[in-house]
Amino acid sequence: MQSENKKFTAVIYLFEEKAVKSLSDHSVISAQPDELAKMYSDNNADEIIVFDQSKSDEEHDKAIGMLKQIIEAVEVPVIGCGNIKRFEDVKKLLYAGCQKVALNYSKVSNIDITEEVSKRFGKDKIAAFIDCADQIINHRDLINEYVSELFVINAAESRNCIAQSEVKLQVLMQDGTLDRITELLLNQEVSGVYGDQVNANIVELNSMKALLSENGVATNGFDAKMNFAELTKNSDGLVPVVVQDYKTKEVLMVAYMNELAFDATIKTGRMNYYSRSRKTQWLKGETSGHFQYVKSLTADCDSDTLLAKVSQVGPACHTGSRSCFFKEIVKRDCMETDPLKVFDDVFAVIMDRKIHPKEGSYTNYLFDKGIDKILKKLGEESTEIVIAAKNPDKEEIKYEIADYLYHMMVLMAEKDVSWSEITRELARR
């Protein structure tokens, strides 16, 4: 079996649109599961499992809505499970944006649909929960052909399951020491650990991954390719850091690092700096909660300045502004050329027309005529693209594609689908 980085998977138990303590204990730990999921994602959990514990179809639909919010909030794969009775339930979870769906092999109905859903959506989209090695033995051929990963839900049975499995598996960790986790992850058949132990140590996850790396366990932690000694420091022994939002590319702030701040940033995955006025190291967000979670750290050509791309919680500036750079000195109007920014800007105008109709607006004409008119125009524009593509002059096809994209965005607005949902789906594929 090919060696891969070992995964740490956080778990959210979803009940009545809230995150609860466990499958058996419905004590609420968060009324906003999407924010809890983002915290797990920001702290470098590799995946998140969401258990849907709804009882009725109505509750299940609400749970799917919350699941979509969770998927929208995080940057890591989400695995959907729970309340799966038929093919359509798997389809709903995958269409909601789940990277994978995990079937419960203690239910015959879930075993029965394994082949069907695997053939329809692909083996890589299907996992299974097992509680004993017998389930592997009894369904070995089915699992090997149609399931990409197993989740062991009985930690005491983990050794037996590992011995019997030909499919990579994750082991439930409700408790246990770092030595026990290391012992498990050294098994080639074990792809990762999940459960309460991951949740409880989420803030220390980067440190745990660093220790595991020292013990020969490959993880998705921060493996720095340069150390502070290799950077060129200023006269005070510091390195300036330009901080940028990793999604929008907006410059948020500039600060400085000494060696302690640099090492703490690599170890924890959260931005640490050196305060020149207080002459001390500080963790960004320690008092405000406005943490900056590291997505990448890059040195410039002279190795004397760092660029940090981060996931920013709240405002970056002490004034409450999103960015420290808000005092305009001079500005010249220019046409926006960033493709994603153009798409966002045009879509924002279309959404504004939907919410605030404007007399004489063609966009409002389409909304007023309804979905059939929008679809008719899309069909017409797609045909125009086909015709234009036969013309050697590319100017015509540029014009027709632009027309098509506009009408497609009207459809997106009509169906409440955002660009972030589209790009996430493309990235997920």
What's the CA gap between 278 and 275, in Å, rounded?
5
Choose the CATH number for 228-312 among 3.10.20.810, 1.10.260.40, 2.60.40.10, 2.40.10.10.
3.10.20.810
The domain limits of the chain are 7-214, 228-312, 339-428
Who has greater pLDDT, 143 or 184? 143
Residue 376's closest CA among 419, 344, 414, 347?
414
Which class is 339-428 in CATH? mainly alpha
Question: pLDDT averaged over the chain?
Answer: 92
Q: Answer yes or no: is pLDDT of 1 > 50.
A: no
Q: Answer yes or no: is pLDDT of 429 > 80.
A: no
Q: Report the predicted TM-score, pTM, of the whole model to 2 decimal places.
A: 0.79
Task: Give the model confidence (pLDDT) of 61-96 as tens digits.
Answer: 899 999 999 998 998 999 999 989 999 999 999 999
Residue 183's closest CA among 194, 166, 171?
171
Bridge partners for 273 per DSSP:
282
Q: What CATH fold (topology level) applies to the domain 7-214?
A: TIM Barrel (3.20.20)
| 309 three-class SS | strand
